[in-house]
Every structure is written in C-alpha cells, then in structure tokens.
Structure 1
Amino acid sequence: MPAMVTVLLLTGCIADGAGSQVSSSSPSLSVQEAPASNAPLETTQASTKIPVYWIGRSKDEVYLYREFRDIDGDDNPVTTALRIMMAEKPLDHDFFTPWQQPSNLATSISGKNVITVDISRDAFNSNLDAVMAQRAVQQLVYTATAAASSSGLINSGQQIQVVILVDGHPDYMAFGQVKLGQPMARDASLVAPLWIIDPQEDVTLPPGAVKFNGRSTDSSKPIAWQILSDNGKGEKTGLLNGQAKPTGEPGQYGVFTFGATLKAGKYELRVSQVDATGNVIDSSTDTRLFSVG
C-alpha cells in the first residue's frame, strides 16, 4: 500500500439505529480547552486488522481505548474503521460508543496530512454532556488517524489533523456540544494510560504458555499484573501476579510483555500502572476476560 494517498473517497452505509443517552456525572472530568498533539500515531503494518478506538471507564476517569478489528483488505481503511466505530459494538464489554450508524459517511486525505470526514447528522443521535461529547469527537479523530497511519496512507512521522463536516458543511455542533469544521489533532490527555493488546476479549487460547502484551503511556511506570481464575459463576480467585517493565524511554509510550502457564479454564487479566511509591494506580487499570482450553 502506498505511503501517501492524495485523495481517498468512499461513501455509503445505511442507518436505522435509534438515539441513545449517555452521560458522565464524574466531578473529576473536565472539558479540555486546547487539544494536545503529542499522542503518537500507530505504525504501518501489513495486516488484515485495523485499529478502532472506543470509550471506557477506569475508576472515575473516562478514556479512549483501542482494539484491532478484522477488515476486508479491499475496503477504504479509514471509512471502514469509522463505520465499525459508529455501527458495531466493541469486543471488550467494558467499552462503548455513543455514535449512531450514519446514513452517509465519506473520507478523504489531502497531501498535507489532513483527513476530512463527512458524515450525516443522524450519527449524532445521542444525548451527551460536554465532557462525553468531547471524548466522542476525539474517538473519531483517534480512529481516523490510526486507520490512516497503520494502513500506510499517511506519514506517521508528521502532524495529522482531522476536519469533520456534517452533510458537507462545517460549524455543526456535535451532540449539541462541540463545534466542528476546524482541523483537530489528537488530545493526548484523553487516551487511556494503558491497555491490553493481547489477548482480546473472550478469545480462547491453547493450554500451556500464554503470552500477554499491552501498551502504556509512561514507560517509567512498572506494570502490575494479576491473573484471576473464573469459576463461571461470577466468582474470581487470584491465581498469579507479577510486574512487567514497559520498553521505551521514561515518560514516553512503551509496550509491555509477560507470560504465564495456564491450564484449561476461564480467566481474567488485570493490569495497572504502579506509582513511585509502589502503589497501584487504580485509574489506570484495564481488564480482559479470556479462556484457555
């Protein structure tokens, strides 16, 4: 796939979803005035999977989390990723999307690394407060830039911005809260401190050595992990635990990896960042349900 595409356009998906209500009542959340632009992009990869971002809660915070989804290699990856984000459910039961399936969706990429997304107004049929609306808009920005970067359609080493149009027009108020139409960058403050990459939710792995990996926003913080055994009745028992050190420079994004030997059964994996005093940072926790057998 070429490293740069000047213009890429694809339209079409039919909406039939009803509106829903999602709100945030946590006093610790705030609307960010100026989005940051130092959130690193996904690297180019030859794969039939595409990154899609979702919204999830960790303690009292609300963050953006990433999953990889299967796609047809012939489809426009940016449009496909956004369609999945708006019309499908995340694999992880802890995540959600406030978007509705749009009747029209088109994307294009300029030679200046600007992605334009044109969607119909029926995609906004959810009642959100300002905090959640901001996260929903950033969910779209993250998904569009991730899909373009991982597919090799843009140069991930340069600044990338997203312009959102609604029915071809700028200045629409997304969810009645966020004004669209101007170039928007990723807001690094809204992405989750860490998340599990593998295994994905509800997968079944062969017995024996199981490898786990994930990503953290701060490589200087160790990762505390715990594997719990699930008896299938909602009761979970701690089985194994340990710590992993993310790769990368301190304060920068990094990945972490660890392994365990497991027999057939149902399990939950929990990971969290650890602060300088050795305590787990609860607001950084991610969990994943999986089976072995």
Structure 2
Amino acid sequence: MGKSQLMEKHPTGKVQVRAALLPLVLGAALALSGCIADPQPGPTDGGNAAVSTSAPATGELPTTSAPLETTNASNKAPVYWVGRSNDDFFLYREFRDVPDQENPVTSALRAMMSEEPLDPDFFTPWQNPKELATSISGKNVITVDVSADAFNSNLDADTADRAIQQLVFTATAAGASAGLIDSNQQLQVVVLVDGHTGYLGFDHIRLGAPMSRSTGMVAPVWIIDPQEGTELPEGVVKINGRSTSPGNKLRWRILRVEGNSDKTSYLSGEVTASADPSQSGIFALSVNLGPGKYELRVSRILSTQGDSEVNVDSRGFVVR
C-alpha cells in the first residue's frame, strides 16, 4: 500500500493517515544469510540467466531488531520509511542523495520529513518542518530539536509510535553511517519540540526522554539492493537484503515487466536464512540479466500454511 492509499488531506490542510491497528508482533531475533536457488528457464533475449548464491551459516541469534548501520564512504544518507507488510506496518530503509549544507543527521531527518520515498509502497507521516536541528553528546545521545509543524498529521496511536521510531532509526542510522557515533555503545535519541520537552507527538507520544530503537519495528523481509527505480548495466545483478526469520526459507522471484505493464515470471529460487550473527541478517545472490524492466519479489515461506508466501517485499529496476 503506497502513501496515496494511506494519506488524505483534511480541510484544515493537515494530512490524515488511515491505518489498521498495528500491533507489535515481531520478535527480537534477527539473522540470516546464504541461499540456494533453482532458476526457471532462461531469458529469451539471448542473455544467460546464471544464478550465484552462498551457503547457509549457523550460530547464535542476535538480540536486536536490526544491526546498526556501518560507516559509509558515500554521500548517501540512510532514511527509514513506513511500509505495509501483510496486516501490519514496519520500517524500511533507503539510501538517498541529500544536500551537504547540514550535518548528516539533520540532512537525513529533513529528507525523511520532506521527501517522497523512492518506493511507492512506502510513506512518511511527517510534515516538512520550519525548524530542524540536531546535536550529538559525548554519551552517544542524539538530540533532535524540531518545530511543532512537523507533527501536523492526524495519526492513530500505533502509527504515531512507528513515526517516532522512524525518526529514531533514521537519526541513529545517519550518525553511525557518517561515523559520528560509537556503534559499540547503546544509542539514544532525545526529541525536543521548539526547544522543550514534554510535547505530545502526534497527540499520542510524550517526547523528551531518551529513546532507543524498538525491537520488532524493522520489516520482516527487506530488499536492500537494488533500490526502487535503479538502472543497472547488463550482466550480473547483485541482490541483497535482510529478514528477521533466522533459519527459515525465503523465496525470491524476478518478473519481467513488458511494455504494456504485464508481468511474466522470469527467474525464481530460495534463500535459506542464516543464524550467524556476524551476517547481521543479510542474504545475497547474483543473477545474470539482459536488458529489460524487472520486478524483484522476496517473501517468507510458511511451511505450516502449505508453503504460503507472506511478508512480500518488492523492487522495480531496469537493466540497460
């Protein structure tokens, strides 16, 4: 479900988000990597549909909902968005180009509050604020001071909770990615509104106390690369992502999108989740694709429900 389906303008000019109840149902465990694949018949455009995968790993399960981002040499900022998965809503990340006039944390948060996600399945409940500033203390506490107009959306309590966590995830991701904070320590975010504590964010969440990333907020299945709308050269296309189901199977499919927008199944396979905490929940595979427009889909497989697919995440991309 995209932003257009979830948000509508009030006569007052505010944005109203219509969402179902969003219970916190995701557990804390997170780890996977490695995959096996059985491609369907190869491409008809003369290319070779080779698939390269890695082997499963084992180990203890990590206890966080998502690993903190590592230092990134590029100028792209990690920005989290809200997206739907089955009957619930979770957080998904994109890397975005942002201006360098502000510090990395402020730039990432400004993008989160003022820009549209690349993926039409995502949305942000935030509004573009008149004032936004951030600072980082020596104790790994990020302070965000934002004007009250950022909260001009009519949200239910569960969506408000996700919006605040969207800010926490984005602020900590940007700080870690820029190397501004020590990712080996617990990170916290304090939100001030117009310089004061105690503001009731979205009329539901009392702000001002230190907050950390909440276990269970990150999406159960999450494609990291390629990002939505990416254009890639012909040949080997690398796919990676993350799931919160250690040891479980993931199913991936690549659909070819025709000129009339019809989609036909092109390649498919399975990824086996790893329990190795050093992999941070990452899965990876490579496919050889000829020129064309494609859609990638990755989902969990529930053997208890006849190998049904749930928590589907999708990305559209183009190969030139």
* CA apart distance, 1:119: 0.3
- The equivalent of 1:115 in structure 2 is 142
| Structure 2 unmatched ranges of 5 or more | 1-12, 30-62
- The equivalent of 1:13 in structure 2 is none
Please, which of 20, 23, 28 is the counterpart of residue 30 of structure 1?
A: 23
Residue identity matched to 1:279 = D
CA contact (8 A) 2:20 2:87 kept: no
CA contact (8 A) 1:21 1:126 kept: yes
* CA apart distance, 1:248: 5.1
- The equivalent of 1:199 in structure 2 is 226
CA contact (8 A) 1:204 1:291 kept: yes
* CA apart distance, 1:72: 4.3
Please, which of 292, 295, 306 is the counterpart of residue 265 of structure 1?
A: 292
CA contact (8 A) 1:219 1:253 kept: no
Which shifted more, 244-253 or 133-142? Answer: 244-253
| Structure 1 unmatched ranges of 5 or more | 1-17
Q: Percent of aligned pairs with the same residue?
A: 56
User: Of the two structures, which has the highest relative contact order with CA contacts closer than 8 Å and spacing of 6 or more?
Assistant: 2
Residue identity matched to 2:138 = G
> How many angstroms apart in 2 are the aligned matches of 1:248 and 1:46?
28
CA contact (8 A) 2:140 2:186 kept: yes
- The equivalent of 2:319 in structure 1 is 292
> How many angstroms apart in 2 are the aligned matches of 1:186 and 1:70?
24
* CA apart distance, 1:81: 0.3
* CA apart distance, 1:63: 0.3
> How many angstroms apart in 1 are the aligned matches of 2:126 and 2:259?
32
* CA apart distance, 1:203: 1.6
* CA apart distance, 1:246: 4.5
- The answer to whether structure 1 residue 214 and structure 2 residue 241 are counterparts is yes
Please, which of 126, 134, 140 is the counterpart of residue 161 of structure 2?
A: 134
Give me the TM-score of the superposition, normalised by structure 2. 0.79
> How many angstroms apart in 1 are the aligned matches of 2:144 and 2:72?
23
Counterparts of 1:1-293 in structure 2, within 5 Å, are 18-26=13-21, 29-30=22-23, 38-39=64-65, 40-72=67-99, 75-246=102-273, 249=276, 253-275=280-302, 279-282=307-310, 284-293=311-320
SS at match of 2:297: strand
Residue identity matched to 1:256 = F
> How many angstroms apart in 2 are the aligned matches of 1:205 and 1:247?
28
CA contact (8 A) 2:237 2:288 kept: yes
> How many angstroms apart in 2 are the aligned matches of 1:263 and 1:276?
33
Residue identity matched to 1:231 = E
CA contact (8 A) 2:24 2:217 kept: no
Residue identity matched to 1:171 = G
> How many angstroms apart in 2 are the aligned matches of 1:53 and 1:171?
24
SS at match of 2:216: helix
* CA apart distance, 1:30: 2.4
> How many angstroms apart in 2 are the aligned matches of 1:231 and 1:54?
29
CA contact (8 A) 1:217 1:252 kept: no
CA contact (8 A) 2:297 2:312 kept: yes
What are the Cα deviations for residues 104-152 of structure 1, in whole angstroms up to 9, with x where unaligned? 0010111111111010000011110001001000000000010001111
What are the Cα deviations for residues 252-289 of structure 1, in whole angstroms up to 9, with x where unaligned? 8321111222222211100012346582541x221001
CA contact (8 A) 2:291 2:319 kept: yes
CA contact (8 A) 2:20 2:88 kept: no
SS at match of 1:225: strand
Give me the TM-score of the superposition, normalised by structure 1. 0.86
* CA apart distance, 1:176: 0.7
> How many angstroms apart in 1 are the aligned matches of 2:147 and 2:120?
27
SS at match of 2:96: strand
